[in-house]
Structure 1
Amino acid sequence: MLLTAATVMAAADVASAQPAAPQEAPASTGDAVTRADAFFRQGLRLYSDKKYVEAEKELESAWELNPTFDVAYNLGNTKYQLKKHKEAAQYLSFALRNWPLVKTVAKLKPTAEQRYAESRAQVGGIKVSVTAAGAEVLVDGKIVGQTPLEGEVFVDPGEHRVEATHPDYEPASQTVGVAKGGTAKVELAMALAKAEPRASAGVETGGGTRVPGAGAGAPVMGQPVMPIEPQPVPEKRNWVPVIALGAASAVGLGVGIGMTVAGSNVLDDVHAQRQSIRNAGGQCTKPSASFVDDCAELSSAGERVDTFGHVAGAAYVASGVLAAAALTYALWPRGETRTAGQPRVVATAHPTGAGVVVLGAW
C-alpha cells in the first residue's frame, strides 16, 4: 500500500504508530492492497472515535495483507492506547527502523519515538544472533521470525527460552533472564546435522581384505571422495525497500506537481501585474518613480516563479530516481549467480530525468 504523505499525515492526527513483519508477507499488489487500504482507513476512523479495540482488529488485518510503514505507525499507537506495551514497542520499532526520509512526515517521528520509549521501558528485549542464516527462531515456543532478525524481540520481564531450528543444522537453544527495560543478548551456534550412516555389506578386494561399504560403484580405500557442495539458502526478497522507495517517489511527484501548480499561479499574477503597469503607461526597464514599487514587486514575483520551477524540476528528478531504484530492486535477481549475458536492470539518472536500462545479450 503506497499511501501518499498526506494520507500518512492524516493518519498521524488520528492514531499517533508495528511488530516485526510476518515471515511470508504477500506481495503489495492487486486485490490484497485494495483490501488492506480499506482495513487501514476503517481502522483510522475507529481510532478517531476512540474505539481502540475495533481499530486494532482492522489495522491488524491491514498489516497481514500489506505490512507497510504507515500501518505499523498507526497500529503501534493503537497498541499503545490499549497499554499493550510489548506489541506497541514491536510495531513502533519497525516504523522507526523504516522511517521514510521525507520532510512531510518528519513532525510525526517525535511522537513515535516518545511512545516507543514509554512502551520499551515496560518490557524487556532480546537481541538474537544465530550462526546459520535462514534459521527459524522461537521464543517460548512461539515463532518470531527467521535469521537474521532485525531489531529486538520484545518480551515480558522474566526468564525466556530462545530456540533456533534449521533442517540442515542441529537445534540450538538458550534460556535467558530479561529485566524490565533491559536487553539480553542470545548468541546461538548451530552445528551442521550429522549424516545418517548407510548400512551395507562389505566386499572382498583383490588382496582379500573386506572394505565396508565397497559395493558396485563404491569408492575403493585410498580413493578420495568428492564432497557434495551445499546448496545455498534462497534469499528472501524484502519488499520493504520497494514500498519505501515507491512511497518516497510518490511524495516527490506530489511535490513536483504542487510546485508546478504554484509556479503557474504566480506566473499568471506576473502577467497580470505587467499588463497593469503597461495599461497605466509605465514600464520596468527604467521605471519612473511612480512605478518603482510595482516593478520591484513584479521582479520578486518573477524570482518566485523561477524558484518554484527549480524545486519542481528537482522533485521530478528525485521521484524518477526513486521509482527507478524501486524497480531495479524489485527486478534484481536474488539468491543466484548471474551468468554471462543474463539481462540485468540498472537505474539511471541525469539532470533532466531518470529511468532504467536493461543490459544483456540476446
Structure 2
Amino acid sequence: MMNKHVLLCSLGLSIALHAPASRAQTSAETPGAAEAEALTDKARQLYDEGLAALNQSRWAEAHASFLAAWRIKRHYQIASNLGVAELRLGKYRDAAEHLSWYLREAPATRVTQRQRAEVLLKEALAKVASITVKTEPEGAEVTVDGAEMGRTPLALPVFLEPGQHMIQVELDGYKPAQERIEPKAGDVVGMKLYLMRRDAEAPAAAGAPGTTGPRAASEPGPAGTTGPRVASEPGPATPPETTVVPPAERSWVPAIVLGAASVVGLGVGVGMTMASNNANDEARAQSRSIQGAGGQCIEPSTAFTVRCAELNRLGAKADGLGDAAFGSYVASGVSALAALTYALWPRRAATNSTEVSVLPNVDLHGSGIIVVGAW
C-alpha cells in the first residue's frame, strides 16, 4: 500500500513549533512566555541553537542541541523537535520514542501539531518494532538488552530495532522472568510475563514414583495367540438392494466465468497500480518544486497555498487509486480461489442444473465480485 501523505509531512522540518517573530511561518514553533519560563536558561539556549540548525537542515547539529536540552528539561516541545531531527538522521527507534512522548504530553488543543506528529511517528514505526510489556504482578523492573526501561505498567511501548533482543523483568520477592524475541520492522507485539514467588512450592507430582500412567488391563487370548481375546459378533444382515444415482456431469461454465473474473480483477489492479504510481510521481515532482522554491506545506505561506493544495490533491488521488488496486487484487484472488474450489469439489448426485451468475463490481473506491447461483 502507498504511504499516505508521507510527502506532505516530509516537507516540514518540525511539528510543534512556530517561528520566532523575525521569521513568519517556519517549520518550528517558539514556546510562549509561560512555557519559556519553565525551561532553564541553559536548556533554552540549547533549544534555540537547535531551532537555528533545524531550520537550516543541519540535522546532526540540531540533534545534538535538542538532546542536550532534553537531558536538562523534558519538555514536549523539545521532544517534538528532537524526534524530527532523529527521524531525518535515520535514528528511527529514538524518533519513535520522543514523538510518542510528545503525543502523550502535548496539550490536546494542539490539534494540527499532534496530527503532524502522528504522521511522522507512523513513518518511524514502519522501521522499528513496538513492544508493549506487561507483568503479573505489576511493579516489575523491565530491562531490554540490559538497559533499564522503567517499572510496569510502562507509560509507552518499548521500541526496538529489528533483530534479537532479551527482555527481562525483576521484582523483589519473585523469580526473574525473561523472554528472547526477534521482531521485524513494523511489528506491533504485546507480551505479558508472569512472575513466580521465590517461596512458591513446586506442584506435586501427578502420579506415583516410577509410574507414567495407569496400567492397561488385558485378557489373555487362546493358546497360540499373542494378543487379548476378542469376542466375535454375528455379522450384519444383508442390506436390501438400492439403486445408486450416478453423479451428474459437471458443468465447467462457473469455473470459466470465475477464472475470467479473476483475470479481469488482476488487470484492473495492475492498471490502478500504474495510475497510482503516476500520481505519486507527480506528487513527488510537486513536492520538489515547492521545496526548491523555499516553501513548505505544513503551514504554507500565501505564495504556496495553491501549490500545496495541488500536492494534497495528488496525494489523495494516489491513495484512492492504491486502495482500488488492492481491492482489485483481492477480488482477483477470491475469484481464482472460487474457481479452483468449484473445480475440485466432489460431484453430487443428479439434481437440478447448476446456475451461476458472476457480476464484477469495480470502482475507484474498491472492487469485488458478486456471485449468485445454486449448486
- TM-score, normalised on structure 2? 0.43
Larger Rg: 1 or 2? 2
- TM-score, normalised on structure 1? 0.44
Which structure's relative contact order is higher, taking Cα pairs within 8 Å and 6+ residues apart? Answer: 2
